[in-house]
Amino acid sequence: MFDSVRLRMTIWYVGALSVILVVFSVAVFLFARRTLYERVDTNLSSMLDAISASLKQKAETGEIGTEDPARALQELDRPNLAVAIFDAQGKMLAEHVAAGGIHVRLPASGIASGQARSIYSLEEQNSESDDSCRGSIGIVQTPSAAYKIVVNQSLEPVNDQLDLLQDILYLAVPGTLILAAIGGWFLARRSLQPLAAMSMRAERISADNLEERLPIGNSRDELGRLAAAFNGLLARLANSVAQQRQFMTDASHELRTPLSVIRTTSSVMLDRKVRGEGEYREALTIIEQQSRRLSRIVEDMFLLARADAGHPSLQITYFYLDELMEETVRAAAVLASQKEVDLAVRSLPEASFRGDEGLLRQMIWNLLDNAIKFTAEGGRVCIALVRQDSNYMISVADTGSGITPEVQSHIFERFYRADQARSRPAAIRQGGAGLGLPIARWIAQVHGGRLELRVSTEAGSTFDVVLPLAPNPVPQA
Please write down the long-range contacts of 221-229, taking CB distance under 8 Å and 24 or more positions apart.
223/194, 223/195, 223/198, 224/194, 226/195, 226/198, 227/194, 227/198
pLDDT tens digit sequence for 330-350: 988 988 888 899 999 987 888
Please write down the long-range contacts of 244-253, taking CB distance under 8 Å and 24 or more positions apart.
246/415, 247/414, 247/415, 250/414, 250/415, 250/434, 251/297, 251/301, 251/415, 253/415
Domain residue ranges of the chain, discontinuous segments joined by +: 5-161, 222-307, 310-468
pLDDT tens digit sequence for 63-82: 555 566 777 777 677 788 88
- Average pLDDT of the chain is 82
CATH number for the domain formed by residue range(s) 222-307:
1.10.287.130
Write the CB contacts of 362 (distance below 8 Å, at least 6 apart in sequence): 439, 440, 443
Tally of CB atoms within 10 A around 411: 22
AA identity, residue 333: A
pLDDT tens digit sequence for 265-316: 888 888 877 778 888 888 888 888 888 878 877 877 777 777 666 656 778 8
Report CA dihedral (42, 43, 45, 49) to the nearest 10 degrees.
130
Its pTM surpasses 0.85: no
Write the CB contacts of 129 (distance below 8 Å, at least 6 apart in sequence): none
Pick among 3.30.2290.10, 3.90.650.10, 2.40.70.10, 3.30.565.10: CATH of 310-468: 3.30.565.10
What strands lie across the sheet with 117-122, from one edge to the other? 92-96, 81-87, 146-154, 133-141, 117-122
Share of the chain above pLDDT 70, in %: 87
Distance CA 472, CA 475 (A): 8
The arithmetic mean of pLDDT across residues 147-167, rounded, is: 91
Say which residue, 318 or 73, is predicted with more confidence. Answer: 318
Show the 3-state SS of the chain.
Answer: CCCCHHHHHHHHHHHHHHHHHHHHHHHHHHHHHHHHHHHHHHHHHHHHHHHHHHHHHHHHHCCCCCCHHHHHHHCCCCCCEEEEEEECCCCEEEEECECCCECCCCCCCCCCCCCCEEEEEECCCCCCCCCCEEEEEEEEECCCCEEEEEEEEECHHHHHHHHHHHHHHHHHHHHHHHHHHHHHHHHHHHHHHHHHHHHHHHHHCCCCCCCCCCCCCCCCCHHHHHHHHHHHHHHHHHHHHHHHHHHHHHHHHHHHHHHHHHHHHHHHHHHCCCCCHHHHHHHHHHHHHHHHHHHHHHHHHHHHHHHHCCCCCCCEEEEEHHHHHHHHHHHHHHHHHHCCCEEEECCCCCCEEEEEHHHHHHHHHHHHHHHHHCCCCCCEEEEEEEEECCEEEEEEEECCCCECHHHHHHCCCCCCCHHHHECCCHHHCCCCCCCHHHHHHHHHHHCCCEEEEEEEECCEEEEEEEEECCCCCCCCC
Residue 424 has pLDDT above 50, yes or no: no
Distance CA 192, CA 181 (A): 16
Say which residue, 19 or 243, is predicted with more confidence. Answer: 19
Write the CB contacts of 307 (distance below 8 Å, at least 6 apart in sequence): 442, 446
Strand 316-320 vs strand 92-96: parallel, antiparallel, or unpaired? unpaired
Say which residue, 23 or 220, is predicted with more confidence. Answer: 23
User: Of 89, 79, 83, 97, which Cα lies nearest the Cα of 50?
Assistant: 83
Backbone angles phi, psi at 199, to 5 degrees: -65, -45
Distance CA 48, CA 133 (A): 16
Strand 81-87 vs strand 342-345: parallel, antiparallel, or unpaired? unpaired
Residue 114 has pLDDT above 70, yes or no: no
Identify the weakest region by mean pLDDT among 215-219, 355-359, 435-439, 450-454.
215-219
Distance CA 342, CA 333 (A): 8
Q: Confidence class of residue 422 from pLDDT cuts 50, 70 and 90?
A: very low
Q: Confidence class of residue 93 from pLDDT cuts 50, 70 and 90?
A: confident
CATH number for the domain formed by residue range(s) 5-161:
3.30.450.20
